[in-house]
Amino acid sequence: MSRILMVTPMLKSQRGNSITAARIYNGLKGRGYNIDLLSLDEPDWQEKLDRCKDNGSYALVHGFHTLHFAAAAGHGAIKNLPLLLTATGTDINNDLTGPFREDVLGTLWRADVIVVFNPDMCSLLAGVEPSLESRLAIIPQGVDLPLSPEISRMDLGLPEDDLVFILPSGLRPVKNIDLALDGLIEARKVSPRISLLIAGAVIDNGYAASIKKRIKDLPWVQYLGEVSHSSIGGIMRAADVVLNTSLSEGQPQAVLEAMSLDKPCIMTAVTGNTGIICDGVHGFYIANARELADAVLRFLNDPRRRDEMGRAAGQLVNDRYTAEKEINAYADLYDALLV
């Protein structure tokens, strides 16, 4: 059977890239594909690629995150192989227009097929470089949330009658956690029955220090740190609403996971978020702190509608964002490239 090398930027940290790569790897392995997984956060990843060159050839390479994969793209073991590239978000939204533009474009041109998560990313790429349009494929992210132990509000020190928001996000500027704090502070001027849980790894030390300093005097906000993927479901169940206040996104995996548990959402109306939900049906799109506060108060004042929107969110994920559909789509691409 043909051998496939999957290259991911990271596996150790609980981040969107690592969870996405692990889910797709496990799903395709379960379908019988012969895949080796290489993570670029391993200190000896270059030596492992050297051994790949010496010990046999691969028939296909599947890389994740355009800029990170650029570090490995030119290696002798894989540089001439068919390449399937999954663009995960910041590599298109930020890196394509930043100082690493040429590295990103070079890697995109190298790919035979480029997978993006949504039509917005497809349009963005085609607009920047029309010659890539024929190589683009849209595969929405699938949800495969592990079963996790129940966690009560008492366990988390949360008041039983609070409206609890969860912001599953690493601490870095693009996640714009300040917007979540600004909006919830505004809403709490009307009702103090609001709590916030922030769960995610420290990615940018300076930004993390700023957020930690800010929430030090906000007893209704808890930073839970990095939470394992096997445990996050229990925390999400203890919340009422999931937040995403990012400046840009690929497709917010953690939001989809919370929605799969019948949690409605509030998300910024930015590339990567728009198009996921129907505004007012599964949650709300917002643009600023005032709009976020208004959405919070609508949830607070109408619990019946909040529950209806949560159930609609769960049904949406079940209909459109299943891991089975995602793996089926990748399997079709693998088969086409392995011919």
Residue 55 has pLDDT above 60, yes or no: no
Measured CA to CA, the distance from residue 48 to residue 78 in angstroms comes to 12
Q: Which residue has the higher pLDDT, 234 or 44?
A: 234
Do the Cβ atoms of 324 and 295 come closer than 8 Å? no
Q: What is the pLDDT of residue 76?
A: 83
Confidence of residue 24 (pLDDT cuts 50, 70, 90): very high
Measured CA to CA, the distance from residue 158 to residue 234 in angstroms comes to 14
- The helix (run of H) or strand (run of E) holding residue 165 is strand 163-168
Residue 225 has pLDDT above 70, yes or no: yes
Residues in contact with 329: Cβ distance below 8 Å, sequence separation at least 6, in sequence order: 137, 139
Of 72-81, 247-256, 312-321, which range is least confident? 72-81
Measured CA to CA, the distance from residue 339 to residue 198 in angstroms comes to 46
Confidence of residue 54 (pLDDT cuts 50, 70, 90): low
User: How far from the centroid of its chain's Cα atoms is residue 204's Cα?
Assistant: 17
Measured CA to CA, the distance from residue 268 to residue 256 in angstroms comes to 14
- Cβ atoms within 10 Å of 128's Cβ, excluding its own: 15
Q: Which residue has the higher pLDDT, 330 or 2?
A: 330
Q: What is the pLDDT of residue 334?
A: 97
Closest to 9 in 3D by CA, of 94, 118, 90, 80: 90
At 90-137, the pLDDT tens digits run 777 777 777 888 888 889 999 999 999 998 888 888 888 888 999 999
List Cα–Cα distances, 78 to 6, 7, 46, 50, 53, in angstroms: 11, 11, 12, 10, 8
pTM above 0.85, yes or no: yes
User: How far from the centroid of its chain's Cα atoms is residue 151's Cα?
Assistant: 23
Measured CA to CA, the distance from residue 176 to residue 41 in angstroms comes to 25
Give span(s): CATH 3.40.50.2000, the chain: 3-142+322-337, 153-320
Q: What is the pLDDT of residue 13?
A: 65
Q: What is the pLDDT of residue 53?
A: 64
The topology under which CATH files domain 153-320 is: Rossmann fold (3.40.50)
CATH numeric code, 3-142+322-337: 3.40.50.2000
